[in-house]
Amino acid sequence: MKKLLHVLLLALLVGFLIGCSDSNDNADDDASNDETANEESASEEENGDDTAYPLTVTDATDNEVTLEEEPERIVSLMPSNTEITFALDQGDKVVGVTDNDTYPEEVSDIDSVGGMEFNVEAIIGLDPDVVLAHESLVASAQEAFEQLADADVDVFTVADATDVDTTYETIENIGQVVGAEEEAEQLVSDMQADFAELEEITSEVAEEDRQSVFFEISPSPEIFTAGQNTFLDELLQIINADNAAGDQEGWVEMDVEAIIELNPEVIISTYGSYVDDPIGEVTSRDGFADVDAVANERIYDVDSDTVSRPGPRLIDGAEEIAEAVYPELFDEE
């Protein structure tokens, strides 16, 4: 009987020890799994992998686009889309651009899919994971977009930004699509800081010293300027200057007599890339000798792309305009 009790006690003791060992092993396994999960999470955060795929996004045409994986091959149908994609450090994914793309330099080595009328077959042949289209193309290229849809090519249409805030939104939208949300947030933050700094510098201009600026988007005989609700008008507001054509709306044509009557203190052209002497184009006009900008030799030409493309270089355009209008604020000691 005593032997039987000893055997039972021994069996219970062994079972207890085994149970403790299993419990410790399971605890070690759980701790190890938790550690692995934490390491993976930290790795994802470090690599900026903050976009989850499959990803469904709604574009500027209210069309839902679902991307199964992060795009590795991107075709851009608008220069501003291209500039944004490169600024997000995703330029190595761009396999197709348009004839109108000029920046950055790397675009010259990328296959072109045409101009405003793009080649659908060329796009399909590049086997893109996504095509970054543009709202301004929708009406004129509807048939082409339908052909891309029939070929199962994902097309995300970017909004036609006409102000700085909408530009920020397009940057964030493209960042989400191409898997660079953190980079997009940082880019927008940097642009906002740069614009704020520029506003602070030009806020020193007294009300009586604000300059009246007239933009020339095209030369004579068809002189177009920028009125309200344009990038150029907003950039003038940012730098504390007045738009001489501020009572106009959008992009408008103005005759020589109307410009003389406005008598702007500064004239800025944006057509120097295709007119040999943009300043001479202005000064040679009949009746312009008495215009303040001409009499005081305050005629300048700026890069059209930086002041019109809704992308990260808008701040460069704003700074170029500010330095032309208020050079005394930027003269280095």
Query: How much is the pLDDT for 116?
Result: 81
The fraction of the chain above a pLDDT of 70, given in percent, is: 84
Per-domain boundaries in the chain:
55-189, 206-329
**What superfamily would CATH give domain 55-189?**
Nitrogenase molybdenum iron protein domain (3.40.50.1980)
pLDDT at 79: 97
pTM listed for this prediction: 0.83
Q: Which CATH superfamily is domain 206-329 in?
A: Nitrogenase molybdenum iron protein domain (3.40.50.1980)
Same fold, 55-189 and 206-329: yes
Which pLDDT value is given to residue 41?
Answer: 43
**pLDDT digit string (tens) for 259-292?**
999 999 999 999 999 999 999 999 999 999 999 9
- In angstroms, what is the C-alpha Rg of the chain? 30
CA nearest to 212, candidates 261, 283, 262: 262
**What confidence score (pLDDT) does residue 332 get?**
63
What's the pLDDT tens digit per position in 166-181?
A: 999 999 999 999 999 9
Helix 164-178 with 231-238: angle, nearest 10 deg: 110
Cis peptide before 104 (omega within 30 of 0): yes
pLDDT digits (tens, 9 = 90+) for 112-137: 999 888 999 999 999 999 999 999 99
Can you tell me the distance from the alpha carbon of 81 to that of 137, in angstroms, rounded to the nearest whole number?
A: 13
Average pLDDT over residues 59-68: 95
Q: Is 114 helix (H, G, I), strand (E, B) or coil?
A: strand
DSSP type of residue 222: S
Pairing type for strands 212-216 and 242-243 reads parallel
Asked if the model's pLDDT at residue 327 lies above 90, the reply is: yes
Average per-residue pLDDT in the chain?
Answer: 88
**Looking at residue 84, what is its pLDDT?**
98
Residues in the chain: 333
Burial of 243-280, coded b for 16+ CB within 10 Å and e otherwise, reads bbbbebeeebebeeeebbebebbbbbbbebeeeeebbe
